[in-house]
Chains A and B, each alone.
Chain A
Amino acid sequence: MRKKSGIVKFFKRNAVAYIFLAPWLLGFFVLTVYPMGYSLWLSFTNYDFTQPDATQWIGLGNYLKMFGPVFGLSEFSASTGEVMRTDPYFLKSLSVTLTYVFVSVPLKLIIALAVAMLLNQKLGGVSFYRAVYYIPTLLGGSVAIAVLWRKLFEKDGLVNGLLGAIGFTNLPSWITNPDYALWTLVLLSVWQFGSSMIIFLAGLKQIPEEYYEAASMDGATKVRQFFSITIPLLSPVILFNLVMQMISAFQAFTQAYIIGGGRGGVLNSTLFYSLHLYIQGWTYHEMGYASAMAWVLLLIIGLVVAIVFRTSKLWVSYGAGD
């Protein structure tokens, strides 16, 4: 009797919470867990969207297709006996994306921190300036800005117009030159430092003024104060920004798609990983291969984030401040 009422009680205690949690739980299973399992299975098949009935298990075929060129393979025989060609552009897309992530994210964070410190002085008008600096972030992800960016960096675009006005001649078309195209996208990303800046600004506000006062009484220079007070106390915020910005940079798609007109640009110089995945999956209907690419991306992001967290013990300090 007592036990039964215990069960009823247990049920009663949890039922309400699970009712509130129900939509999220349903979404988690139907739109995350099941698709992940499904895509893992797909990644070992040659699933073609236009002929799903012809799907065959090809073992590690898709993964060999990606990494075969590392071992100098241009073709190999899959477990079905069929000869498969390796993907000549996969490694290119990986290196384009890694370059993009490892250049744009640190640059963006450094600029965000510098501007945040500039605005953190008792100046007045900070909320207005903050708004102005946030505008590129507000608009930057849109197709509109990607279209504009193309216009800015074309042969006869705004940038060359301005450079020409101050005497430069023989300027290239930045967007169609394989040496520069990726850097215009890096610039577009760095330009959107607004949300990192706002996060840093909020973090800086939490550092007590007294720390700086005490340090300057002890004769510490501004540079010394920056490295001994600001950076350590801000380090959890820096870590958070670093991780979130890297995860989203790995998945960048829209800007590269628009600037390349749906392709990877001249000599695939802006063939982002996501763009390559989209082209494989939706232009060529090779969704088995696209799924395998998605899993490799997940592993790469997981690995990079794990490394960042591991090394963060060396430079992130918790609890010293508040």
Chain B
Amino acid sequence: MKTKTVVRHTLTHGFIIVLGLAMIYPILWMIVSSFKPNNMIFSDPGIIPKAVTIENYISGWKGYAGVSFGKFFANSTLMCIGAVVGNLITCTMAAYAFSRLEFAGKSFWFAVMMVTLMLPSHVTTVPRYIMFNTLGWVGSYLPIIVPKFLATDAFFVFLLVQFMRSLPKELEEAAIIDGCSKFGVFFRIIIPLTTPALVTTALFTFLWTWDDFFNQLLYLTNPKIFTISRALRTFVGDAGSVSNWGGALAMSTLSVIPLFILFFALQKYFVQGISTTGIKG
């Protein structure tokens, strides 16, 4: 009986590992191929390179229109930080109102917020573009960052509401008896206790802003303010042909390193974030 279980578990482990390797094989191949000479990328499906070079990194790093990838990295990072700050401030404020305060019209506004969670972004894309263009914001990060300061990412409001609802009511009541205002409760009790959900919010905001392409394609019109996503697109020519595959794979590899670091450093928060919003939804 015991040996049977051991055999079964070993087989299951083996199966999971093989399947997992198959899943991440393309990514491993991308990383390895970025170190292969350009002419060998095409012929070699293996992940053990026959020759190693950093040529691709040098040619890719040159970037586009005289702007290097160093600049693109800096641009992406700054834009993402702006987005994170915006979401942290305003989504938290909205979530506090929805989860811990009583006010007239609360259930109505909450329902409205939940509807916007499911609203496809395309119905607002064209008018927003026209508005931002009128304001002279096209060609800057403002159309991407300003909406974050207006809590438009309903997903995070929802995530934080779910988390704040689970905090015990007594702490708050005790603080109010001690003479704490609603603002005091927010800053001294709710914010510290909500830290895990705030980390999740920051993490996903960073990740999704880093990865987003559509808005960056629309609004970042000048190579000097290109971000990673927008710059990687320049490797792909019209109708999809790519001339510098080595450079493309090398810069693609670099572009996902920050995501890897964040993921493995903060894995716990990823899982929490995904499962709390999923389960209660």
Contacts and interface: CB of A to CB of B under 8 A. Distances in A.
Nearest to A277: B122
A127 B278 CA distance: 18
B274 interface: yes
A127 B267 contact: yes
B104 A144 contact: no
Contacts of A158: 26, 29, 45
A235 interface: no
B218 interface: yes
Nearest to A300: B120
A143 B152 contact: no
Of A22, A250, A265, chain B has the most CB atoms within 10 Å of the CB of A22
Given A20-B96, A151-B30, A202-B278, 4 more contacts: A127-B267, A143-B229, A151-B245, A191-B23
Interface of A: 10, 13-14, 16-18, 20-28, 30-32, 34-36, 38-39, 42, 49, 115, 118-119, 121, 123, 125, 127, 129-136, 138-139, 141-145, 147-152, 156, 158, 161-162, 164-165, 175-176, 191, 195, 198-199, 201-203, 206, 237, 240-241, 243-244, 247, 250-251, 253-254, 257-263, 265, 274, 277-278, 281-282, 287, 290-291, 293-295, 297-298, 301, 305
B interface, over-half SS: helix
Interface stretch (B62-70, B109-117, B165-173): B109-117
Contacts of A17: 97, 101-103, 106
B220 interface: no
Contacts, number: 278
Contact of B94 (A21, A138, A152): A21
A80 B263 CA distance: 56
11 contacts: A16-B101, A21-B93, A23-B150, A24-B91, A25-B109, A129-B20, A132-B23, A142-B229, A142-B252, A199-B274, A253-B213
B121 A161 contact: no
B237 interface: yes
B103 A156 contact: no
Nearest to B42: A156
A26 B279 CA distance: 29
Interface residues on B, range: 35 or more
Contacts of B118: 243, 247, 305
B269 interface: no
A interface, over-half SS: helix
Which 10 residue pairs across A and B have the least CB separation, nearest first? A27-B150, A161-B45, A261-B240, A199-B278, A144-B252, A202-B275, A17-B103, A35-B127, A24-B94, A24-B151
B191 interface: no
A24 B93 contact: yes
A247 B120 contact: yes
Contact of B157 (A24, A34, A38, A49): A24
B38 interface: no
B150 A26 contact: yes
B126 A36 contact: no
B157 A147 contact: no
Contact of A32 (B45, B119, B208): B119
